[in-house]
């Protein structure tokens, strides 16, 4: 079984941007789990939350995750912020990929998400006590899962150049067979 590289962390942590850059560097496919879920469901993420609810979304997310992880050729995967935290996601991720937690402070997440508009992120767009409070609460609840990643990079240290030796030491990318 080949080992993929999975990026985990909060919404706004930069999983997609860094994942695309790493995939381009290594010449590997990039997979965005949210995009895979949308393709499978034939519905947008806000549409799935609105019409089917979060429980259904989490099941769909878990099924899609297993399907992506089962692909034979190595790839770089950007997960959704909640992916490691439901249906033993972190265990599946650690079994089939090298996991990297992009650990970005709430102040940075807040600035990025405010600039980006949260309409596409249903859990954040419906935060009655405000976005900053929701981010703190969510990060606090999820840290126990994120911490189980094999690699951890904080804030500005998450660059391709800085990560290369650490990925090599972890055996990524795996040798071609
Ligand atoms: C979610 C994060 C989203 C998406 C869904 C749920 C979460 O992905 O999967 O809206 O629970 O944090 P991003 O982390 O790419 O925003």
Ligand 1 lining (C-beta closer than 6 Å)? 11, 34, 45, 80-82, 121-123
| pTM reported for the whole predicted model | 0.95
CATH topology of domain 4-165: Rossmann fold (3.40.50)
> How far apart are the C-alpha atoms of 12 and 108, rounded to whole Å?
8
The average confidence (pLDDT) of the chain is 94
- Residue that wins the pLDDT comparison between 29 and 130: 29
| Ligand 1 center to 92 CA (angstroms) | 18
Q: Rounded mean pLDDT of 12-25?
A: 97
DSSP string, 33-82: HHHHHHHHHTS-HHHHHHHH-HHHHHHHHHHHHHHHHT-SS--EEEPPTT
Q: Could you tell which of 16, 30, 34, 122 is best to mutate to test the pocket of ligand 1, judged by most ligand atoms within 8 Å of the CB? A: 34
């Amino acid at each position: 079984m080949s080992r993929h590289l999975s990026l985990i962390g909060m919404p706004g942590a930069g999983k997609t941007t860094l994942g695309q850059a790493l995939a381009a560097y290594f010449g590997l496919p990039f997979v965005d789990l949210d995009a895979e879920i949308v393709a499978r469901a034939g519905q947008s993420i806000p549409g799935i939350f609105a019409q089917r609810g979060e429980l259904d979304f989490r099941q769909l997310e878990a099924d899609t995750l297993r399907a992506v992880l089962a692909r034979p050729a190595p790839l770089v995967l950007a997960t959704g912020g909640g992916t490691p935290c439901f249906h033993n996601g972190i265990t599946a991720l650690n079994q089939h990929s090298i996991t990297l937690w992009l650990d970005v402070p709430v102040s940075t997440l807040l600035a990025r998400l405010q600039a980006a508009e949260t309409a596409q992120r249903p859990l954040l767009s419906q935060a009655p006590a405000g976005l900053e409070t929701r981010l703190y609460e969510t990060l606090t609840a999820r840290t126990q899962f994120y911490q189980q990643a094999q690699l951890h990079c904080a804030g500005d240290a998450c660059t391709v150049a800085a990560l290369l030796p650490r990925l090599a030491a972890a055996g990524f990318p795996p040798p071609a067979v």
